[in-house]
Amino acid sequence: MKKLILPLTLLFGLVGTANAFDGDAEAGKAKSATCAACHGPDGNSPLAIYPKLAGQHAQYLYKQLTDYKLGMTTGGQQGRANAIMYGMVAALSDQDMKDLAAYFASQRVSAGSTPEDVIEAGQKLYRGGDAERGIAACIACHGPRGAGTSLAGFPRIGFQNADYVKATLEEFRAGTRANDMNGMMRDVAKKLSDEDIRVLSQYLGGLH
């Protein structure tokens, strides 16, 4: 297993949202107890099937929470569908969701690793895509180190749990998750093979 430290080959104008986002991280910490069972007390989920929330952009986290609530109120016709998260967001106010987003965004994501056997293929697909198959490079939106950008709404994906990434890409590919901006992730994922998804999901674990 090997951590990947990639050179900065692409400059993104990352604009922080700490000042503009009106969530209260301390209040969010006090409200996060029910989140800890799946996502860990600091947002670094010990269970690979659940995402790490630590260090994720606050605006992105807030959007996911509001999308879950929209999914709950529309029977999954809009927003994001997930029966477990419906129960979690049911009693949350808009301010609760902002506070939780601010808290998890303020935490440091734990380092991950990438299996040696996927480094070459993962790096090639992540950084260069596949022009012949019309697959865009992940680096274009998520950056060379998987940090994404809050301003454009692209999430941090470096160090993310592989099982969660795999499941998410499969959901986008199947169209069962449809809360991506302008259908961008669905357009990319529908062109990915099972092997592409396996390689990318494991590659991202050590991408930073």
Nearest-CA neighbor of 32 among 22, 23, 47, 42?
42
Arithmetic mean of pLDDT, 134-159: 96
State how far the alpha carbon of 75 is from the alpha carbons of 12, 81, 126, 177, 178, in Å: 37, 8, 35, 14, 14
Contact 81, 177 (CB under 8 A): yes
Query: Per-residue pLDDT tens for 51-96?
Result: 999 999 999 999 999 999 999 999 999 999 999 999 999 999 999 9
Arithmetic mean of pLDDT, 29-51: 97
With 0-12 / 13-18 / 19 or more C-beta atoms within 10 angstroms meaning exposed / middle / buried, residue 91 is: exposed
How far is the first Cα of the chain from the last one, in angstroms, to the nearest whole number? 15
Confidence of residue 20 (pLDDT cuts 50, 70, 90): low
H-helix segments, the chain = 25-31, 36-39, 58-73, 83-89, 94-105, 116-128, 139-142, 162-174, 184-189, 194-203
Query: Per-residue pLDDT tens for 97-138?
Result: 999 999 999 999 999 999 999 999 999 999 999 999 999 999
Neighbours of 18 (CB within 10 A): 12
Neighbours of 5 (CB within 10 A): 9
111 DSSP assignment: P
Amino acid (1-letter code) at residue 18: A
The angle subtended at Cα 129 by Cα 124 and Cα 135, nearest 5°, is: 150
Domains and CATH numbers, the chain: 25-105 (1.10.760.10), 116-206 (1.10.760.10)
pTM, two decimals, is: 0.89
